[in-house]
Amino acid sequence: MQVTVIGAGVAGLSCALELAERGVAVEVLERATQLAGAGCSWFAGGMLAPWCERESSTALVAQLGEESLAWWRARFPGTVVNGTLLVAHGRDAAELAQFARRTAHGRPLSADGIAALEPDLAGRFAHGLYFADEGHLDPRAALSALAARLAELGVRLRFGVEAPAGGRAGRAVIDCRGLAARPQLADLRGVKGEAVLLRLTELTLARPVRLLHPRLPVYVVPRAPGLYMVGATSIESDDGARVSARSLLELLSAAYALHPAFGEAQVVEIGTGVRAAFPDNLPRLRRAGEVLYVNGLYRHGFLLAPALARRAAQVLLAGGHFPEVMDEDSRQRRLA
Ligand SMILES: Cc1cc2nc3c(=O)[nH]c(=O)nc-3n(C[C@H](O)[C@H](O)[C@H](O)COP(=O)(O)OP(=O)(O)OC[C@H]3O[C@@H](n4cnc5c(N)ncnc54)[C@H](O)[C@@H]3O)c2cc1C
């Protein structure tokens, strides 16, 4: 079998790798001329937080996320598993309790516990919640590593190719175009996310830190030493062309509320991506003829792509059936 994967975001590259590792002849077509800035994946935070995300999603996301975390650990040495820390200011302590009730695996922390994990936050927060088994990665490094591994396996990544929608004679197609697939997947919508990259050496954080705040929830993810990604907004919009002043104000204010040292940070980049989401914010494998769509990864692309890719490969090669992520449509087609 020969497979064309359309889109070199995290979904497309994960699918291509799952297939290439099974010895399938794969090519990847990407309309951008390079990985940098190609799609939403380039702008992600890179949190691999199955348990925290349970707060606003289903058990399925946690289950697929846990599987994906193991996949990243096995394939990308830059995967760091040293947990996620949640903190809230005293007046917002109820937010922490509520978060703990809605999630699993979070361990309550005292001020001393917070200081032991993140010495630079010592004395700033009385209570926290620690999800020790969660991880994070630098999405840009991870995408580059996947592309390099694919090249080693003989997979051709063709950049600057605007692939038409639909099937190809003699080839199976996995369509991972993100929001660009909306003409074919009419129930997709865009959810804009804005984020800022900051450089500061006055502060060291070893792991993603989320500040719970009723109006300004924010997370800070460490990248290279001295570099932090502060994110992210979640706005019902397809407009990925601009970052609003209001969003910037809110992100930077929230970072400053986490630690005033962020006030001295150098702004390295202001970025935005548009996440593709289905109405229930859950991902789908959807089959239409020879095309298998992998889409709707919403705010969980890195968290979910490997688990979806594994299922997509099994569907293509062995007719695997995964009702938890496959649409009713696909099931009917498969049974027909
Ligand atoms: C600010 C922000 C923070 C985020 N943080 C996290 C996080 O911490 N953890 C997490 O798991 N997720 C996070 N996400 C979500 C994650 O980024 C997305 O879920 C993920 O990137 C979706 O990946 P994708 O491969 O489906 O789409 P994309 O990355 O958009 O890839 C689609 C690709 O298809 C290409 N394409 C489109 N049309 C064509 C065509 N006709 N021919 C060829 N190529 C085409 C595009 O150029 C693009 O490269 C975040 C998102 C944002 C915006």
Question: Mind spelling out the 3-state secondary structure of 111-177?
Answer: HHHHHHHCHHHCCCCCEEEEECCCEECCHHHHHHHHHHHHHHCCCEEEECCCCCCCCECCEEEEECC
Looking at the CA of residue 302, tell me the nearest atom of ligand 1. Answer: 11
Q: How far is the CA of 299 from the centre of ligand 1 (A)?
A: 9
Question: Any bridge partners for residue 25, and if so which?
Answer: 2
Q: Which atom of ligand 1 is nearest the CA belonging to 47?
A: 8
For tokens 């939403």, name the residue.
40
Determine the Cα–Cα distance for residues 68 and 41; give it in Å rounded to an integer. 16
- Which residues partner with 183 through β-bridges? none
- pLDDT by residue for the chain (336 residues), tens digit each? 899 999 999 999 999 999 999 999 999 999 999 999 999 999 999 999 999 999 999 999 999 999 999 999 999 999 999 999 999 998 888 889 999 999 989 999 999 999 999 999 999 999 999 999 999 999 999 999 999 999 999 999 999 999 999 988 889 999 999 999 999 999 999 999 999 999 999 999 999 999 998 777 899 999 999 999 999 999 999 998 899 999 999 999 999 999 999 999 999 999 999 999 999 999 999 999 889 999 999 999 999 999 999 999 999 999 888 999 998 655 444 433
Neighbours of 12 (CB within 10 A): 29
Mutate to test the pocket of ligand 1, among 41, 51, 55, 251 (most ligand atoms within 8 A of CB): 41
- Centre of ligand 1 from the C-alpha of residue 118, in Å: 31
Distance 109 CA to ligand 1 centre (A): 34
**Which atom number of ligand 1 is nearest to the Cα of residue 46?**
8
Please, are residues 48 and 73 in contact by the beta-carbon 8 Å criterion?
no
Q: Which of 299, 300, 303, 308 to mutate to test the pocket of ligand 1 (most atoms within 8 A of CB)?
A: 299
Distance CA 249, CA 327 (A): 40
In the reported structure, the alpha carbon of residue 104 is separated from the centroid of ligand 1 by a whole-number distance in angstroms of 27
Task: Please give the distance, rounded to the nearest whole angstrom, from the Cα atom of residue 292 to the centre of ligand 1.
Answer: 17
Span from the CA of 39 to the centroid of ligand 1 (angstroms): 5
* Alpha carbon nearest to ligand 1 atom 33, residue: 7
For ligand 1, atom 19, the nearest C-alpha belongs to: 301
Ligand 1 centroid–CA 41 distance in Å is 4
Ligand 1 midpoint to CA 203 (Å): 30
Q: 283 C-alpha to center of ligand 1: Å? A: 13
Q: Choose the residue to mutate in 29, 177, 220 for probing ligand 1, maximizing ligand atoms within 8 Å of C-beta.
A: 177
pTM of the model: 0.96
Query: Nearest 5 degrees, angle CA 156-CA 326-CA 178?
Result: 45
- Where residue 333 falls (left for φ over 0; alpha for ψ -120 to 50; beta otherwise) is alpha
**Using CA atoms, how far apart are residues 234 and 164, in angstroms rounded to an integer?**
30
Give the Å distance between the CA of 80 and the centre of ligand 1: 21
Residues contacting ligand 1 via CB (< 6 Å): 6-12, 29-32, 38-41, 43-47, 161-163, 176-178, 180, 193, 195, 231-232, 273, 275, 297-303
Counting ligand 1 atoms within 8 A of each CB, the residue from 302, 304, 308, 325 with the most, and so the one to mutate, is 302
What pLDDT does 169 receive? 86
